[in-house]
Structures are given as C-alpha cells and as structure tokens.
Amino acid sequence: DSGVTQTPKHLITATGQRVTLRCSPRSGDLSVYWYQQSLDQGLQFLIQYYNGEERAKGNILERFSAQQFPDLHSELNLSSLELGDSALYFCASSPNTRANRGSGANVLTFGAGSRLTVL
Amino acid sequence: GNSVTQMEGPVTLSEEAFLTINCTYTATGYPSLFWYVQYPGEGLQLLLKATKADDKGSNKGFEATYRKETTSFHLEKGSVQVSDSAVYFCALSRAGGTSYGKLTFGQGTILTVHP
C-alpha cells in the first residue's frame, strides 16, 4: 500500500457520460498529480495541484477538469466521454515543500490507478 | 521541452542474465532522474533515483548512474529474476519553477524474465 488511495478501481461507462475519479494523497503530501496511461500515448501528465491551487497543466483536454479540496484530496472530472478516453488514470502525491525543493527529495508516490472503460 | 527516450522493448531474458535498459534525456538545467517500475495490475513504484551528475542510484540489485556528458541514465542489473518481470519507466523532474516535481516519463520498457 503506497498510501495514495484512488477510487474507483474500475469504471465502465458509455460515450457521452461524465465520471469523477477521486484521489486521497499520502498523509502530509501537499501536491497531487494526475496522469493518464494509455497504450498509444504512454504516461501523459494531465495536471498538478499544490495545497489547493492549480500549479501546472499538461495534456489535459478541455472536457476534463480537476480540483484539490481543503482536506487535500483531489477529484478528476471527465465529461462528454469518448471511446479514446479509455485508459488508466493515476494519481500521485508528493511533499513538494519549500524544504525539499531542489534536493531531488520530492519523490512522487503513485496510487494503484483507476481503470476507465468507455463503451 | 523536456523529454525522455527509452530503448524499445519488449526485452526477454532468462533468469540470471544481465539486464541493461537504455534511457537518454533532454532537459534544461539539472534535472533529477528516476526509474519507476510497474508490476502487472499495480501502480508505479519508485525503483531508484539520482539528483546530480555522477550520482549512482541503487535498489534491489538495480543500478543507474546519472551521466550528464551523455545525458543518459541507463538501468542495469547483474542477475535478473522472474520476479523482476514488469514495465520499467525512466523519468525526469526539472528542478525549480512552478511545475516543480512534475515527472516526464519515457515510453516504458516491458521486461519478461523466463525461468
């Protein structure tokens, strides 16, 4: 158990629908990252939050959105789903505190992932 | 931008064989370098890391040395086991900036070890 909890583990839905993936970071970690893993695109960075604020955006579609709540858990919302959105979605967390920036100690810890299947 | 290139797989070895998985990177400044491993049905786990040139990361018999002159971070293990079968990802993290900590991954290398 990595300490990063993702729910649900598996989700099957239809095109056009909307789903929400949830992530609870490791205790004490302030940053949350979302990644998408698919066979054709590999591991793609979607978005990062730090202590409730969006910090960086990657290849995240406009149909997707995320937020980090005051208790530091995060949700990734995927809407108007298409077949191509079928993938594994990983959440990761890290301390990313002022103390460990630049030291290489800011290691990301990943959850087990949420597998989304769009039919 | 930052990028990571790994040798294409899949790699198939017999138990106790020597393993090398090549990884090269492109980045500005002095990134930290990582190897992550993904076992079947699981998330990614940190295998080892190095934060500056000539650093050697090591864990569970795996090693990788940060070579700035060749921008490489090749993964090696002297004697692989069946339990090492997994997907291996090389990654970098750029120091500083507002996106500090974000990892850029290579495409992954599938390793299968046969008894």
Q: What is the pLDDT along chain A (119 residues), one digit of tens a residue?
A: 889 999 999 999 999 999 999 999 999 899 999 999 998 888 999 999 999 999 889 889 999 999 999 999 999 999 999 999 999 999 999 886 655 555 555 788 999 999 999 99
- Alpha carbons B56 and B35: distance in angstroms, whole number: 12
- Alpha carbons B108 and B93: distance in angstroms, whole number: 16
Task: Compute the C-alpha angle A90/A94/A98, nearest 5°.
Answer: 150
State pLDDT tens for residues B38-95: 998 888 999 999 988 999 999 999 999 999 999 999 999 999 999 999 999 999 987 6
State pLDDT tens for residues B19-30: 999 999 998 878
Residues 45-84 of A with CB under 8 A from B: 45, 48, 55-56, 58
| Chain A nearest CA to B113, separation (Å) | 22
The pLDDT value given to residue B95? 64
Task: Return the H-helix or E-strand segment holding A46.
Answer: strand A42-50
- What token pair was written down for B99? 């996106």
The closest of B15, B89, B20 to B49, measured between CA atoms, is: B89
Is the Cβ of B104 closer than 8 Å to some Cβ of chain A?
yes
How many CB pairs (< 8 A) connect A and B? 66
- Alpha carbons B68 and B6: distance in angstroms, whole number: 16
Q: Are B25 and B33 in contact (CB under 8 A)?
A: yes
The pLDDT value given to residue A45? 92
Question: How does B35-60 read in b/e, with b if 16+ C-beta sit within 10 Å?
Answer: bbbbeeeebbebbbbbbeeebebeee
Selecting from A43, A102, A105 the residue whose C-beta is nearest the C-beta of B89 gives: A43
The pLDDT value given to residue A1? 81
Q: Is the CB of B96 less than 8 angstroms away from the CB of A112?
A: no
Q: Distance of alpha carbon B5 from its chain centroid, rounded?
A: 10
The pLDDT value given to residue B12? 97
* CB neighbour class for B7 (10 Å; exposed up to 12, middle 13-18, buried from 19): middle
The pLDDT value given to residue A2? 84
DSSP letter string, chain B: --EEEE----EEEETT--EEE-EEEE-SS--EEEEEEE-TTS-EEEEEEE-STT-EEEETTEEEE-BTTTTB--EEESS--GGG-EEEEEEEE--SSTTTT-EEE---EEEEEE-
The pLDDT value given to residue B82? 96
- Which site among A24, A26, A43 would you substitute to test the B interface, given the most B Cβ atoms closer than 10 Å to its Cβ? A43
Q: Are A81 and A89 in contact (CB under 8 A)?
A: no
As a three-state string, the secondary structure of A63-110 is CEEEEECCCCCEEEEECCCCHHHCEEEEEEEECCCCCCCCCCCCCCEE
The closest of B65, B67, B10, B69 to B35, measured between CA atoms, is: B65
Q: Is the CB of A104 less than 8 angstroms away from the CB of B46?
A: no
